[in-house]
Structure 1
Amino acid sequence: MSDTAAPPPLPPAWSSPAAPAAANADWQPLPPRGAWLAALGGALATAFPFGFGFGFLALVSKLASPWWVAPAAALIGAGLGARLAVKRHRRTFWKLDEEGFALRRGRWWQVESRVPISRVQHLDLKRGPLERSARLSTLVIHTAGTKLAAVSVSGLDVDDAERLRDLLARQLDRNDDAL
């Protein structure tokens, strides 16, 4: 028998809607109200490259009237970027258990990051003006190591992000005391 007491059980899924059937019940989705913020970021990130790239191609290929190509391409790029960002937001899940924090993204190319408690250095919460208006937050978990020096989860509910930060900090303190 060990001298240390078992850690307290983790709380059930907090106020997040149920995950899709494809996702495990332990995995929590990001709140749907953050999809518009993801769409805005995706639209801005793709509108300018599409507009500039296709505008440049129109000038180089000497189209008869290239003035309409850049704005049209920017609009198409913004729509495509927004759609992809919303899909990515909907396919992002997180999980906290006794071993640490896990983040899963994607459908075709799935990426799953796992941060063991022993690797957590410190935790940050970031809230920009748009995130604050939607009651969202970004949790940044700084880790020991060089490959993934930080794991960032944007679009978390403010209450979930604060609870995650506090639970990870307490688990980290418990593990430090056990050493």
Structure 2
Amino acid sequence: MSPDSPPRSPNLLTDPSWRPSPRAKTVWTVQIALAWLAVFAALLGWVALDPGRRPWQVAAAVIVVPVAVFAAVAVPRWRYRVHRWEVTDEAVYTRVGWLTQESRVAPISRVQTVDTERGPLERLLDLSTVTVTTASSAGAVHISLLDRAVAEQTVTRLTEIASRHRGDAT
């Protein structure tokens, strides 16, 4: 440390420790693939309705197909490397995003409710999302795509920790 650098605080926030389930990559891949299906459908409609523009249609396909494949392969893996979460006796920490990243810290004293949600794809893959609602204008904290058993343990732990804090969560 140089003499000009600011002193380090002993309580620096470290990155959250836990990742979502490895099956989160499958959920993100399916979501991306479904989004690209709309683009492919539009491209196929253009080919069917306007056969006179084949060079433009081929050029569009040459651009769209590699971008879609890249998005479906690279983005879920990138997101998996970034997404983190952790629950301590003091707070819930999350970090999400892939192109832009958001880190959130929700103090346990601000926790109002803890819920789980399982959409159709999550049920199929035995995953759950834990939502921690706080007294914050930033909204709830979501811990997405956890193994169902991990989500249940997390809800139990959060409920137990929050019950020890006698704040009014406002």
- Give me the TM-score of the superposition, normalised by structure 1: 0.67
CA RMSD of aligned residues (A): 3.4
Q: Which amino acid letter does the alignment assign opposite residue 26 of structure 2?
A: W
Q: Which amino acid letter does the alignment assign opposite residue 144 of structure 1?
A: A
Distance in 1 between the 2:103 and 2:90 partners? 15
Distance in 2 between the 1:125 and 1:104 partners? 18
Mark the CA change 1:149 to 1:177 in structure 2 (over 3 Å): closer, same or farther: closer
Higher relative contact order structure (alpha carbons within 8 Å, sequence separation ≥ 6) = 2
**Structure 1 counterpart of 2:140:** 150
- Alpha-carbon deviation of 1:51? 7.3
Count of equivalent residues: 151
Q: Which aligned pairs between 1:1-179 and structure 2 lie closer than 5 A?
A: 27-46=17-36, 48=38, 64-69=54-59, 73-82=63-72, 83-105=74-96, 110-146=101-137, 148-176=138-166
Mark the CA change 1:28 to 1:176 in structure 2 (over 3 Å): closer, same or farther: same
Distance in 2 between the 1:98 and 1:50 partners? 48
- Give me the TM-score of the superposition, normalised by structure 2: 0.70
- Alpha-carbon deviation of 1:113? 0.8
Q: Which amino acid letter does the alignment assign opposite residue 131 of structure 1?
A: E
**Structure 1 counterpart of 2:3:** none
Identity %: 30
- Alpha-carbon deviation of 1:38? 1.3
- Give 5+ residue unaligned stretches, structure 1: 1-22, 57-61
Distance in 2 between the 1:45 and 1:137 partners? 22
Q: Which amino acid letter does the alignment assign opposite residue 41 of structure 1?
A: Q
Mark the CA change 1:110 to 1:130 in structure 2 (over 3 Å): closer, same or farther: closer
- Give 5+ residue unaligned stretches, structure 2: 1-13, 47-51
Mark the CA change 1:109 to 1:88 in structure 2 (over 3 Å): closer, same or farther: same
Distance in 2 between the 1:127 and 1:108 partners? 25
For residues 130-172 of structure 1, the C-alpha deviation after alignment (integer angstroms, 9 at most, x for no partner) is 21221111111111122x2112222111111111111111222
